[in-house]
Amino acid sequence: MSKASVTIGLLREGKIPVDRRVAIPPEHARRVMEQFPGVRVVAQKSEIRCYEDAAYEKEGIPLVDSVEDCDVLIGVKEVPVADLIPEKTYFFFSHTIKKQPYNRKLLQEIVKQKITLVDYETLTDQNGKRIIAFGRWAGIVGAYNGIYTFGKRYNLFHLRRAHECFDFDDLRSEFGKVNLPPVKIILTGGGRVTKGAMEVLMGMGIRKVSPRQFVEEHFDFPVFAQLNARNYNVRKDKTAFSRNQFYTEPQLFEGSFLPYARHADILIATAYWAPAAPVLFTREDMMQDDFKIAVIADITCDIEGSIPSTKRPSTIDEPLYDYNPSDDQVENPLTDEGNITVMAIDNLPCELARDASESFGETLVEKILPELLGDDEHGVIQRATIATEGHLTEKFAYLQDYVDGR
């Protein structure tokens, strides 16, 4: 691929359910061509994007039916196997690096068709920190949906759904409708997703308190506490908590979340969880009389993971379901006071597709494309390349048994 003359194709999203986000919005696409002479950007025609085709045309981006002639193909979600084009360079979220069973065939075909795959999730700086993500928007929408769910469950207030709002500014106009009793909210995590969730909670006037205050004190107003891993995990041998050790040897730890569950009305879960780590709580815990949580907004959406009520993802069209811990079954939402109401949408940023696309596109154009279209001076593209020329790269060789079907 000659860097002097590259054609970038913006893919029409083909995954079902549909995703309205774009990796590069219209104005950003124009900027790419201005910033990199010799680079051409085209957009595959689409009726589902949050930006209409006409918006790309207005910025001088040609619309095409086929992207066969492009060198680099940029999307958001997994490309359907039937749509893959051999020997192209693709950028998208492949959801393969944890050996997800449902995407094995996708990675097998990528290797077979000698495709170069660069996964957004693996784009990191020299310190290993992720460069690009939709995390903030998942946190914003997820926390909003958690409060929406509580209001709906107890018929306290009625908010528009996030996807019914034009953008984040419009969403914020709903905050004034929130009238919560003195509830207690737990927010787990400490990354971008957590910070996005805090933007919403604090924007609604919900006061932040310390984990100790949360458990020990009574409040006459709604509060939330943010918990990091050290707040709800302890070493089995009772020695001091080590953050690094928790992430490298999670089997040495056990969960200590239950004191918070006895005081919280709402749980907003944003913390990364690995299968070897302790669960947040068990189904048996949820069956105890003093387990107080009534609404769970599981932004992590780890199915059968750290939160036993997350039995399946929910959708933007059907955002809620009830979980009955006594028989471990999912039921229709808001049908029984003894149930726990779950919001587990797995594509939350889609609800604010324009804002999410704007910030994602800005990072892609400013920090990723200069590496791709230059000399990859900082190794950003090299580190993020999962497969190329018919084989896995050295960094991702651990996926070989996954690709082989073993």
Q: Give the model confidence (pLDDT) of 325-336 as tens digits.
A: 999 999 999 999
The answer, yes or no, to whether residue 357 has pLDDT greater than 90, is yes
Q: With respect to residue 294, please indicate whether it lies within any of the assigned structural domains.
A: yes
Q: Give the model confidence (pLDDT) of 35-89 as tens digits.
A: 999 999 999 999 999 999 999 999 999 999 999 999 999 999 999 999 999 999 9
Q: Mean pLDDT throughout 130-141?
A: 97
Out of 325, 346, 367, a domain closes at: 346
- Kindly state whether residues 120 and 172 are assigned to the same domain: no
Q: Mean pLDDT throughout 229-236?
A: 97
Q: Give the model confidence (pLDDT) of 149-179 as tens digits.
A: 999 999 999 999 999 999 999 999 999 999 9
The answer, yes or no, to whether residue 231 has pLDDT greater than 90, is yes
Q: pLDDT value at position 4?
A: 63
Q: Tell me which residue has tokens 């709800």.
A: 232
Distances (CA, A) of 132 to 36, 121, 192, 296: 21, 7, 11, 27
Specify the CATH number for the domain of residue 265.
3.40.50.720
Out of 346, 362, 380, a domain closes at: 346
Q: pLDDT value at position 3?
A: 61
Q: With respect to residue 91, please indicate whether it lies within any of the assigned structural domains.
A: yes
- Kindly state whether residues 289 and 174 are assigned to the same domain: yes
- Kindly state whether residues 31 and 171 are assigned to the same domain: no
Q: Tell me which residue has tokens 């077979």.
A: 112
The answer, yes or no, to whether residue 120 has pLDDT greater than 80, is yes
Q: pLDDT value at position 275?
A: 84
Q: Which domain holds residue 115?
A: 6-132+353-404
- Kindly state whether residues 128 and 139 are assigned to the same domain: no
Percentage of the chain surpassing pLDDT 90? 94
Q: With respect to residue 210, please indicate whether it lies within any of the assigned structural domains.
A: yes
- Kindly state whether residues 151 and 257 are assigned to the same domain: yes
Out of 346, 363, 391, a domain closes at: 346
- Kindly state whether residues 118 and 139 are assigned to the same domain: no
- Kindly state whether residues 78 and 172 are assigned to the same domain: no
Return the HEC string of the chain.
CCCCCEEEEECCCCCCCCCCCCCCCHHHHHHHHHHCCCEEEEEECCCCCCCCHHHHHHCCCCEECCCCCCCEEECCCCCCHHHCCCCCEEEECCCCCCCCHHHHHHHHHHHHCCCEEEEHHHCECCCCCECCCCHHHHHHHHHHHHHHHHHHHCCCCCCCCHHHCCCHHHHHCCHHHCCCCCCEEEEECCCHHHHHHHHHHHHCCCEECCHHHHHHCCCCCCEEEEECHHHCEEECCCCCCCHHHHHHCHHHEEECCHHHHCCCCEEEECCCCCCCCCCCCCHHHHCCCCCCCCEEEECCCCCCCCCCCCCCCECCCCCEEEEECCCCEEECCCCCCCCEEEECECCHHHHHHHHHHHHHHHHHHHHHHHHHHCCCCCCHHHHHEEEECCEECHHHHHHHHHHHCC
Q: With respect to residue 1, please indicate whether it lies within any of the assigned structural domains.
A: no
Distances (CA, A) of 322 to 4, 28, 313, 327, 344: 55, 41, 12, 12, 11
- Kindly state whether residues 12 and 145 are assigned to the same domain: no
d(CA 30, CA 42): 10
> How many domains is the chain built from?
2
- Kindly state whether residues 250 and 279 are assigned to the same domain: yes
The answer, yes or no, to whether residue 2 has pLDDT greater than 60, is no
- Kindly state whether residues 10 and 147 are assigned to the same domain: no
Q: Mean pLDDT throughout 23-42?
A: 97
pLDDT class for 11, splitting at 50, 70, 90? very high
- Kindly state whether residues 219 and 235 are assigned to the same domain: yes
Q: pLDDT value at position 303?
A: 86
- Kindly state whether residues 287 and 275 are assigned to the same domain: yes
The answer, yes or no, to whether residue 204 has pLDDT greater than 80, is yes
Q: Give the model confidence (pLDDT) of 256-293 as tens digits.
A: 999 999 999 999 999 988 889 999 999 999 999 999 99
Q: Which of 154, 138, 108, 195 shows the shortest CA–CA distance to 386?
A: 108
What integer best gives the mean pLDDT of the chain? Answer: 96
